[in-house]
Amino acid sequence: MSISGLRGMFTKKSSKNLKFGISVIPENSKLSIEKNIELVRNSGLDHLEVAFVNGLYISEKRAYEINYAAAVNKVTLSIHAPYFINLSSPKSEIVEKSKELLLKVGRFARTMGAETIVFHSGFYYDTPKKTFEKVKRNIEEIKEAFEKELISVKLRPETMGKRKEFGDLEEIITIAQEIGGIMPCVDFAHIHARTKRFNSYEEFNKILRKLEKRLGMEYIKNMHIHVSGIEYNGEGERYHLNLMDSDFKFDEWLEALNDYGVEGVVVVESPEPIPDAVRLRKIFYDKP
């Protein structure tokens, strides 16, 4: 065993275990998904989130090919489910189609070797409470469908950036608390844009304390995080920015993640994600 390996065994602080990666929408990328996996590896990053946000129009054969490329390059994978998914729609056919689509994404994710599926839950067509109950019921059904087919890919509803979208931090934590096996995808840029707060070391720490208190240290050691710069107004998120063009205090944010011993995956969703992810990773691992 190497010296650094030994040190990792005995001193908790030096055993950092947080992966940094990027999100890519396949249709918007000049590169194939395999080439993006290689780019992640060659940039010193660890993770690729494949954002099938416009739909899952890809053959099962491709899932095997992507799985192979990720294994060869030692890059872990997640999927961002299509934006079509809406579990709170008043139109039952949209909800049914959403559930079918999430199951289809689940099957594809399993073949692709993805560990996580991130999805948007829906919008407030009703009171927050009624919307919560509806979303919860539908996520429960999807979870049961996954179990029936022995799909062990994690389902993670995302904390959303627009105030009209279901999924503030409290709602997503409560969903995770009430449905076993469901975990949040915590998007720190969205939380900041939605609340206009949560942009300091103390506030980031507050989020982490809340997550630990409600979901346990086990969750802190298995987080799936989204981050980017963000432009926002009174309604919340407008669009994503590169970190340097935004007001996001990523130094303080990394400090908080580091001090809390957060583990898991950080997916950078900036318009130019590679330089931002490389920057964040370097700052994080350079810290003592």
Q: Which stretch binds Zn ion (CB under 5 A): 101-109, 154-162, 200-208, 214-222?
A: 154-162
Q: Which is nearer to Zn ion, 69 or 167 (CB)?
A: 167
CB of 53 to Zn ion, least distance (A): 8
CB of 185 to Zn ion, least distance (A): 7
Which distant-in-sequence residues (6+ apart) come within 8 Å of 51 by Cβ?
A: 23, 24, 25, 26, 79, 80
Query: Which helix (H) or strand (E) covers residue 180, if one does?
Result: none
Residue closest to 111 by CA, chosen among 73, 151, 55, 157: 151
Q: Which stretch binds Zn ion (CB under 5 A): 121-129, 150-158, 237-245, 277-285?
A: 150-158
Q: Which is nearer to Zn ion, 69 or 102 (CB)?
A: 102
Q: Which is nearer to Zn ion, 120 or 136 (CB)?
A: 120
Residue number of the CB closest to Zn ion reads 158
CB of 187 to Zn ion, least distance (A): 7
CB of 225 to Zn ion, least distance (A): 12
CB of 47 to Zn ion, least distance (A): 15
Q: How many CB atoms lie within 10 A of CB 234?
A: 6
Q: Which is nearer to Zn ion, 69 or 191 (CB)?
A: 191
* Binding flags for Zn ion, 101-140, as an x/- string (CB under 5 A): ----------------------------------------
Q: Which stretch binds Zn ion (CB under 5 A): 31-39, 40-48, 128-136, 157-165?
A: 157-165
Tell me, by CB under 5 A, how many residues bind Zn ion: 1
Listing DSSP states for 10-32 in one string gives H-GGG---EEEEEEE-GGG-SS-
CB of 119 to Zn ion, least distance (A): 8
Q: Which stretch binds Zn ion (CB under 5 A): 6-14, 34-42, 98-106, 156-164?
A: 156-164
- What is the distance between the alpha carbons of residues 7 and 16, in angstroms, rounded to a whole number? 11
Determine contact, residues 160/167, Cβ cutoff 8 Å.
yes
- The label of the residue with tokens 């009430």 reads 178
CB of 212 to Zn ion, least distance (A): 23
Determine contact, residues 194/184, Cβ cutoff 8 Å.
no
Determine contact, residues 82/54, Cβ cutoff 8 Å.
yes
- The label of the residue with tokens 């063009």 reads 245
Q: Which is nearer to Zn ion, 119 or 260 (CB)?
A: 119
Q: Which is nearer to Zn ion, 69 or 190 (CB)?
A: 190
Q: Which is nearer to Zn ion, 69 or 131 (CB)?
A: 131
Listing DSSP states for 33-93 in one string gives HHHHHHHHHHTT--EEEEE-TT-----HHHHHHHHHHHHHHT-EEEEEPPTT--TT-S-HH
- Rule CB under 5 A: which residues touch Zn ion? 158
